[in-house]
Structure 1
Amino acid sequence: MGSGFAISFADIEAAAQTIEGHVLKTPLMSAPRLSALTGADIFVKHENMQATASFKERGAVNKLRSLTDDEKRRGVIAMSAGNHAQAVAYHAKRFGIPATIVMPETTPLVKIENTRAYGAQIVLFGETLYESAQKAREIAAEKSLVFVHPYDDAAVMAGQGTVALEMLREAPDLDMLLIPLGGGGLMAGNAIAAKALKPSIELIGIEAALFPSFHNAVHGTQMPIGGATLAEGIAVKTVGTQTLPVIKELVSDIVLVGEDLIERAVNAYATLQHTLAEGAGAAGLAAMLKEPERYRGRKVGLVLCGGNIDPRLLAAIMVRELEREQRIAAFRLTASDRPGLLGKVASLFGTLGANILEVSHGRLFLDVPAKGVTLDVTVETRDEAHTAAIEEALRKEGFAPRRIYPRGLAEPGG
């Protein structure tokens, strides 16, 4: 293994002792339903069970415990889109260290409020982490605060490396680890730990397709970076200078995952593994959904690195997934406007075994005859085949059904 890295395996072992008793040794759990979905033998490291719901506590504690008494008295400052912020704020409060956190103005409200609740002073600045970092460095210089970088810091990297340390000591027969890649702190620390414990293990980093920062840095590509991603925890434009050499040497591949796959993975964690994953936390599973044949029959360790997802966003994702699976379907029916029509339609859906979620009665559409009426009916069905059977039955009853998709109305016959 390459020398000249910012940290060594010994640093990670030391970090494990430093953080013991301050962070949870999270469970590594078999995931039979996710395994059935992908064909691999999946084990999930539930870092979403930490006090602030992410792995970031490991690096934060290791860094805070390394400070001198004078540095603790002056206080710390960090920039973060959320999970690092919460981890630093929570443990700084436990250790009696004043903390200031600079967050991008686009940070989800749930993460801002959680961080504030831990007693940190919050500064909202800039659109991106890069702008927040500039501001944090200015304040650090002005007030003589210790800057706690979310990933480009040796103590932080060593703390994060304790994840793989725990995984491989518990399950030494894992073939591969799939780890989300933002600035690279989690992957760099874990790559060093994993390769020291099991040199044959395969390490795969996962980036959101909108933020291919490491892909560009490692492969020399110029793919565009930026956009609204569900995985804001790994939406990093600038890779770490200390993490990049580790990832170049030890990581065998960097996989880019699109937003649809991240949504599917978040939903799969919620419905199949009964656990909360934020977009970044689900990135590893998203990569497996992208190319299941690559992992079939392998023993795969996934790091569910964070569970801080906005409840409204999770609800929207779950409903969208039902629509994708055609377990929620909307139809526009056209008929003559006569008494008892609504009752007849409701009765028909009941007979067909569909649950009506919403009905809208319209008489003013210009493409409907003056004596006609349209009914937009949204129903819950068992699956795609059931939805198709319902559509056919509606057609036979003379309702000329047209499917309404989230993106608009289907053309007749389309």
Structure 2
Amino acid sequence: MTKNTTINYREKIEHSHVYDVAKITPLEFQPNLSARINNRVLLKREDMQPVFSFKLRGAYNKMASLPTDTLKRGVIAASAGNHAQGVAMSAQKLGCRAVIVMPTTTPLIKINAVKARGAEVILFGDSYSDAYVKALELEKSEQLTFVHPYDDPDVIAGQGTIALEILNAHPEPIEAIFCCVGGGGLLAGIAAYVKAVRPEIKIIGVEAKDAEAMTESLKQGKRVMLDQVGLFADGAAVKQVGEHTFALSQQYVDEMIVVDNDAICAAIKDVFEDTRSILEPAGALATAGLKEYAKRNNLSGKTLVGIASGANMNFDRLRFIAERAEVGEKREAVLAVTIPEKPGAFKTFCRLLGDRNITEFNYRYSDPKEAHIFVGVAIADPNESANLVADLIAQGLPALDLTDNEVAKLHLRHLVGGHAPQAENEVVFRFEFPEKPGALMKFLDTMGHDWNISLFHYRNHGADFGRVLVGMQVPPNEQTEFAEFLQNLGYPHWDETHNPAYKLFLG
């Protein structure tokens, strides 16, 4: 018996204190998305809360339940985003002190939003983990109460009020409810209530491909700690789920779905087309998972509910999302095509494309015999991409489908035409740098070697981290030192030396 079985979550949810600050958000029909996937899609608009996120519910429910003398001493939280704003607004309503520890990498827009609610902001460390440790220190030294972002029964119950509202708004049959998952508070709260009231409704958790802590934990039957997490869906980038949330998910969650960044971008566009609202990446996870579930199970005519969990979007990130949405929706194929460097070859290539719309075209002369072209083509469905590649190859034009190649889509499309045969012993790595002053110098100082940097590409995407592609000339007898450098650096990294797109355009 787990600790959660002693808690009546249905009762806690039905008696939660959330509506002093939170509002009952609409459950909206999505006509365009519903028509496209042939199911009835309803979106629970938590992006319409006063802080543009569901996090307000759990934070306030926890704080409102504290004894008066405890509340007077104040609360503390560690967060870089939505939870911070929820705690700050709750403290403002309850008239108590709130201290929020945020990583130094937190964008200024988020820091200012928290300060505007009257909270004290302390910047500490490079990551949420650093901020969390600092918050626990201050909790003891200043006798504050820590408000956990997800692993607390009162926080879980506050998030569970969303389920109560969904079932009140839609008493008719529902096939499944989809929730984004970071630490698991939203998923656990909704699952606990729905399974107590309408157990026939499936509860599906959705995680980003590079941050699937709950998926792995449920597979292994224990909480696992991920070595690193991708930060695109930063609102759900958690290395380890909570004890309470994991136990509840084991009891009540029917399935987990993992989606990639392109699918998230496509979901943001889907919601925009129906609502004219722009969700943050974590806020669109449920919609991305809903689409994947319907496709995977060949569903038709069912009612599917997704939680639009947040809309605290950095404006600069929109460029990246717009670039990737069509690929995520399988409406664009990204190809590398080799054609003879002779008159008429380009015309032959274009004729083979037919009346398809060209979305991107990159080419630079580099060889007297053949030309490598990076091209984006609008397609109607994924099968069309494979057929197009086959047609090109049949006509003697070697073609490679790069639609799922992260390096190609993120970096090489901006670097096409840069062959460097003189760059001997080149290794190519993709890194995620903290988006803060000094990150590059740390890279160079840690390198501490005379390895020549032969390629470097960085592009700001309005995130808390930067995506960087680096080529370095590392002699074979120095591979051990290079491995030590990567370990000491501590930045997430991926070896792309043998990536076919790199070989074709830059190797």
Structure 1 and Structure 2 fold alike (TM over 0.5): yes
**d(CA) in 2 for partners of 1:356, 1:250:** 44
Aligned position for 1:189: 189
Query: Which residue identity is paired with 1:212?
Result: E
Aligned position for 2:458: none
1:92-111 correspondence to structure 2 within 5 Å: 92-111=91-110
For residue 135 of structure 2, give the secondary structure of its aligned residue in structure 1: helix
Q: Which moved more, 1:57-66 or 1:140-149?
A: 57-66
Aligned position for 2:22: 23
Contact 2:150 2:185 in 1 (8 A): yes
**d(CA) in 2 for partners of 1:9, 1:177:** 17
Contact 1:7 1:158 in 2 (8 A): no
The alignment's C-alpha RMSD in Å is 4.3
Tell me which of 258, 262, 285 is aligned to 1:283: 285
**d(CA) in 2 for partners of 1:5, 1:244:** 15
Contact 2:211 2:230 in 1 (8 A): no
Sequence identity of aligned pairs in percent? 33
Tell me which of 253, 256, 259 is aligned to 2:255: 253
* Cα separation, partners in 2 of 1:20 and 1:353, compared to 1, 3 Å: same
* Cα separation, partners in 2 of 1:300 and 1:140, compared to 1, 3 Å: same
**d(CA) in 1 for partners of 2:91, 2:298:** 40
**d(CA) in 2 for partners of 1:28, 1:145:** 37
TM-score, with structure 2 as normaliser: 0.65
Tell me which of 236, 240, 253 is aligned to 1:234: 236
**d(CA) in 2 for partners of 1:295, 1:175:** 13
1:41-56 correspondence to structure 2 within 5 Å: 41-56=40-55
For residue 99 of structure 2, give the secondary structure of its aligned residue in structure 1: strand
1:355-370 correspondence to structure 2 within 5 Å: 367=367
Question: Unpaired segments of 5 or more residues in structure 2?
Answer: 343-354, 389-396, 403-407, 410-500
Aligned position for 1:171: 170
1:147-166 correspondence to structure 2 within 5 Å: 147-166=146-165
* Cα separation, partners in 2 of 1:288 and 1:354, compared to 1, 3 Å: closer
Query: Which residue identity is paired with 1:188?
Result: A
Contact 1:48 1:54 in 2 (8 A): yes
Query: Which residue identity is paired with 2:171?
Result: P
Q: Which moved more, 1:246-255 or 1:326-335?
A: 326-335
Aligned position for 1:145: 144
**d(CA) in 1 for partners of 2:322, 2:157:** 36
Contact 1:212 1:223 in 2 (8 A): no
**d(CA) in 1 for partners of 2:103, 2:274:** 33
**d(CA) in 2 for partners of 1:359, 1:243:** 48
For residue 242 of structure 1, give the secondary structure of its aligned residue in structure 2: helix
Aligned position for 2:202: 202
Q: State the 1:197 CA deviation.
A: 2.0
For residue 215 of structure 1, give the secondary structure of its aligned residue in structure 2: helix
Q: What is the aligned residue count? A: 396
For residue 52 of structure 1, give the secondary structure of its aligned residue in structure 2: coil
1:7-406 correspondence to structure 2 within 5 Å: 7-15=8-16, 18-173=17-172, 174-218=174-218, 219-220=220-221, 225=226, 226-292=228-294, 293-294=296-297, 296-297=299-300, 298-322=302-326, 325-326=331-332, 367=367
Q: State the 1:44 CA deviation.
A: 0.4
For residue 24 of structure 1, give the secondary structure of its aligned residue in structure 2: coil
For residue 134 of structure 1, give the secondary structure of its aligned residue in structure 2: helix
Q: State the 1:171 CA deviation.
A: 0.5
* Cα separation, partners in 2 of 1:121 and 1:198, compared to 1, 3 Å: same
TM-score, with structure 1 as normaliser: 0.78
Question: Unpaired segments of 5 or more residues in structure 1?
Answer: 337-351, 390-399
Query: Which residue identity is paired with 1:216?
Result: E
Query: Which residue identity is paired with 2:307?
Result: V
For residue 205 of structure 1, give the secondary structure of its aligned residue in structure 2: strand
* Cα separation, partners in 2 of 1:271 and 1:318, compared to 1, 3 Å: farther
For residue 243 of structure 2, give the secondary structure of its aligned residue in structure 1: coil
* Cα separation, partners in 2 of 1:287 and 1:70, compared to 1, 3 Å: same
Deviations 1:38-84 (A, max 9, x none): 33211100000001100011111212222233223221101123110
Q: Which moved more, 1:172-181 or 1:271-280?
A: 271-280
* Cα separation, partners in 2 of 1:379 and 1:209, compared to 1, 3 Å: closer
Q: State the 1:357 CA deviation.
A: 10
For residue 177 of structure 1, give the secondary structure of its aligned residue in structure 2: strand
Contact 1:332 1:377 in 2 (8 A): no
Query: Which residue identity is paired with 2:112?
Result: E
Q: State the 1:382 CA deviation.
A: 10
**d(CA) in 2 for partners of 1:305, 1:146:** 26
Q: Which moved more, 1:323-332 or 1:217-226?
A: 323-332
Q: State the 1:240 CA deviation.
A: 1.3
Q: Which moved more, 1:220-229 or 1:182-191?
A: 220-229
Deviations 1:142-162 (A, max 9, x none): 001111111111221111110
Contact 1:215 1:221 in 2 (8 A): no
